Amino acid sequence: MKRAIIVGVKEGKDDKTGDDLLFITCFKLPSKMKTGGLWFPKSSDAVATACFNKSRVPEDYESFHNVLPGTLCDLTLGVNDFNGKTYIAKVDIVEESPFKPEALYI
């Protein structure tokens, strides 16, 4: 599990099926090591994107639809058995964003 901050939520459509998609872009925060220091992810690994399909997981699609940037979340990672790549299996909100839309978008 990784702690992250949500930096963007974008709606889209699947070109092949026409399903509604929701893309959540997160920036992974540093993790604490056993020594008490912080371990920072490489800049190429720090950004992660989760995709929710409205027809497959409508409850997740709706719950993250109005999430604002600045929201803290926990990312549970899974591993694709076919290619060995990691993906975001679950997103849990830890704390809502303290920002209002008027302050975020100029």
In this predicted model, what pLDDT tens digit does every residue of 2-42 receive, in sequence order?
999 999 999 999 999 999 999 999 999 999 999 999 999 99
Cα–Cα distance between 104 and 106 in angstroms, integer? 7
pLDDT digits (tens, 9 = 90+) for 68-85: 999 999 999 999 999 988
Residue type present at position 106:
I
Output the pLDDT for position 106: 83
Q: Whole-model pTM?
A: 0.87
